[in-house]
Structure 1
């Protein structure tokens, strides 16, 4: 047998790589979100996606999106997520200043919500209360309050 016959044929490495990577694409999932109970007037919806308790507590999001909130509702999607646990924070920016406004004691005066419609005790809920299992495509709803 000749030494060169042991080397892969041209293009074989591409085929092998494609075969090895194919299952990774099958592992990706989409998180589809519907938001309801927003203001009747137009507003901007800010959505942040978290993949860890540390990120959620520290507001270090994995991804974020904004979208118009019309008629009190909006829909959006996070695509290609690795299977795991994720939590969402959302708020409706009703006055267009790009932040969640609060009263003098720190209570939100604009509508907000979390995945699983989780509620915190005098603050945001913890990651576990808001976490969603995303193993395959998931549809979830957040009701703003």
Structure 2
């Protein structure tokens, strides 16, 4: 059994993840899941550095998906609004649009072979809340 495992590790390349759009030195969290999985569980792994590329060593060949987020407030989780909109920078392999909500791993899949692979993940930053300004009364016209 040991020779079989040794052969598998010889065929496993590293995965390098270049993260674009880092804001500060907040820790990054990463989830690597099989692309045919329905959700992003298990929980994310904390990476104590914001330096990229991130390296996952000896990853067996396969179809995977990656989610990365930057934990700006240090609570160890991706904060979401009540409507499920990320409040911290988040990105996915393949850089899918987040317009329709959080993508599934299948929407973010990439193929990793027996040699090293390099992928790029672009962090999408939450929109700043717009300051509401009270309407001003036009000269000669009262507000309704």
TM-score scaled by structure 1? 0.72
Distance 2:44 2:14 in 1: 13
Counterpart residue number, 1:50: 33
Counterpart residue number, 1:6: none
Structure 1 residue ranges without an equivalent (≥5)? 1-16
Counterpart residue number, 1:82: 60
Residue 29 to residue 109, structure 1, CA distance change in 2 (3 Å) = same
Stretches of 4+ aligned residues off by more than 6 angstroms: none
Counterpart residue number, 2:105: 127
Q: Which has the larger share of strand?
A: 1
Q: Does 2:120 match 1:141? A: yes
Distance 1:108 1:44 in 2: 16
Q: Does 2:47 match 1:66? A: yes
* 3-state SS in 1 of match to 2:53: strand
Q: Does 2:17 match 1:33? A: yes
* 3-state SS in 1 of match to 2:9: helix
Distance 2:122 2:35 in 1: 22
Please report how far the alpha carbon of residue 94 of structure 1 lies from its aligned counterpart in structure 2 after TM superposition: 0.5
TM-score scaled by structure 2? 0.73
8 Å Cα contact 2:66-2:108 kept in structure 1: yes
Residue 58 to residue 23, structure 1, CA distance change in 2 (3 Å) = same
Q: How many residues align?
A: 123
Structure 2 residue ranges without an equivalent (≥5)? 125-144
Distance 2:36 2:99 in 1: 17
Residue 65 to residue 77, structure 1, CA distance change in 2 (3 Å) = farther
8 Å Cα contact 2:26-2:70 kept in structure 1: yes
